Amino acid sequence: MDWELPGSHRYVHRMAATPLVPVQLAAGEPAIWCKLEFLNPSGSTKDRIARYILEKAWRQGRLQTGDRVIEASSGSTSIAMALASAQIGVRFLAVMPEGVSNERVLLIRAYGGDVRFTPKADGIRGAIAEVERLGREPGTFLPRQFSNRDNADAHRLTTAREVIDQIPGGRVDAVVSGVGTGGTLVGLYHGFAEVGCRLIAVHAKPVNLYGDADAECCSYSARIPGVADRISEIFREDNLPGLLTLEVNDEVAIATTRQLMRLGFPVGPSSGLNFAAAREAHRRLGRPQAQVVTVFPDRMERYFTTELFQPYLA
Ligand code: PMP
């Protein structure tokens, strides 16, 4: 993706395509094609949406020097927005509920962003309400990742195109992705529409069917950060004809993540979830030569103080 900015920040910044590599957990197992999104500049796939959303806003004059970008996210999106804001030369504020792991707060501050906490009891809704309140002030820009179509467009125009260029023979049988905001899945769905492969959404089991139905955000899995544990209202199957879903036990997702780490893939829990689902999709396709694609969204260092590393505490 070329990134050209006008005015005092005139430069072109090219974001390299992330590698697409075949990954096998053991000899004799089918290889799954994995997109190494943890190799993006700030360590997650969210660099794509941060750049795309901020660049578009800049080009259209909705974001200008001196402005402040404000997002309600405790996760990878805030880290990526902090970096993209620093590169453009605008300020960034992350609003998040108290109690977020320190790794994330430190990364946001290292990229020059500020962090504001909202009461833990108010959850992500409290953070979103605070962002909307702050966003009424002049000189602010709200990316609103949960409701912004540009989130999915970033993946349609970059992630999907890269995979189609990279995969041998240009042939893809199935694409598998977890759902947080749904941006990755919806973008891949539309990006692969002409390829004619299957699209599979992954949910973390146990599925929380009674979760808080909030159109602005998802009900997140307790053990797989960033991934929804129920079918989101915004991205129901009937909006995406032919979309299949798979559920993966969160225990299996975490065990798979630890296996991937030992194979040399320094990934977070949602990568284990995606990989486990991709193997199941490959099994169901029933053809050894089937080419199944999934993504490794972020890096393991974000989870040092979480359950993922619990067994390794002395
Ligand atoms: N994995 C991780 C670690 C995430 O933070 C997210 C996004 N919150 C996802 C997966 C899902 O991506 P998306 O928001 O595009 O559905």
Q: What is the ipTM of this complex?
A: 0.93
Ligand 1 center to 185 CA (angstroms)? 10
Q: Of 37, 46, 101, which is best to mutate to test ligand 1, by the most ligand atoms within 8 angstroms of its C-beta? A: 46
pLDDT at position 211 is 55
* pLDDT attached to residue 237: 59
Task: Output the CA 180–ligand 1 centroid distance in Å.
Answer: 5
What are the C-alpha distances in Å from 210 to residues 128, 224, 251?
Answer: 21, 18, 21
pLDDT at 125: 84
Listed as own residue / partner, the contacts of 207-210 with beta carbons closer than 8 Å and 24 or more positions apart are: 207/231, 207/247
pLDDT of residue 1: 47
Domain boundaries, the chain: 20-39+159-312, 46-141
pLDDT band of residue 228 (cuts 50, 70, 90) is: confident
What integer pLDDT is reported at residue 10 of this predicted model? Answer: 40
Distance (Å, rounded) from C-alpha 248 to C-alpha 274? 9
Residue 236 clears pLDDT 70, i.e. is over it: no
CATH topology agreement for domains 20-39+159-312 and 46-141: yes
232's CB contacts (< 8 A; 6+ apart) are 179, 182, 218
- With 70 as the cut, is the pLDDT of residue 218 above it? no
For the domain spanning 46-141, the CATH number is: 3.40.50.1100
DSSP state of 79: H
3-state helix, strand, coil in the chain (%, to 5): 40, 20, 40
- At 246 the pLDDT is 95
**pLDDT per residue as tens digits for the range 274-314:** 999 999 999 999 999 999 999 999 999 999 999 999 999 98
pLDDT in tens, 132-150: 999 999 999 999 998 899 9
**Beta pairing class for 32-35 and 20-23:** antiparallel
Under 8 Å between Cβ of 172 and 218: no
Task: Classify residue 16 by its DSSP letter.
Answer: P
Distance between Cα 314 and ligand 1 center (Å) = 30
Pocket probe mutation, ligand 1, options 53, 76, 231, 245, max atoms within 8 Å of Cβ = 76
- At 235 the pLDDT is 62
Band the pLDDT of 216: cuts 50, 70, 90: very low
Say which residue the tokens 């042939």 belong to. 171
Counting beta carbons within 10 angstroms of the beta carbon of residue 145, is it exposed (0 to 12), middle (13 to 18) or buried (19 or more)?
A: buried
Q: Which atom of ligand 1 is nearest to the CA of 184?
A: 15
Above pLDDT 90, what percent of the chain? Answer: 74
Tell me the best of 177, 270, 300, 306 to mutate to test the pocket of ligand 1, counting ligand atoms within 8 Å of each CB and taking the most.
270
Q: 73, 50 in Cβ contact below 8 A?
A: no
For 185-215, letters b (16+ CB in 10 Å) and e give bbbbbbbbeebebbbbbbbbbebbeebeeee
Of the ranges 64-68, 121-125, 215-219, which one carries the lowest mean pLDDT score?
215-219
* pLDDT computed for residue 207 by the predictor: 76
Considering the domain 20-39+159-312 in this protein, what is its CATH number? 3.40.50.1100
Q: Is the dihedral of CA 77, 105, 296, 90 positive or negative?
A: positive
Spatial contact of 245 and 281, defined as CB atoms under 8 Å apart = no
Which residue puts its alpha carbon closest to atom 8 of ligand 1? 226
- pLDDT interval class at 14 (50, 70, 90): low
Tell me the average pLDDT across 224-244: 75
- pLDDT at residue 2 greater than cutoff 90: no
Report the alpha-carbon distance of residue 241 to residue 237 in Å, rounded.
Answer: 6
Atom of ligand 1 nearest to the CA of 298: 3
**Calpha distance 158→160 (Å, rounded):** 6
CB atoms < 10 A from the CB of 96, how many? 25
Average pLDDT, the chain: 89
pLDDT at residue 273 in the model: 98
Contact by Cβ (8 Å): 49, 146? no
Identify the H or E element spanning 141.
strand 140-141
Is the predicted pLDDT of residue 8 greater than 50, yes or no?
Answer: no
> Which atom of ligand 1 approaches the CA of 155 most closely?
15
Confidence class for position 30, pLDDT limits 50, 70, 90: very high
Question: What pLDDT score was predicted for residue 109?
Answer: 97
- Residues having CB closer than 6 A to ligand 1 are 75-76, 178-185, 225-227, 268, 270, 297-298
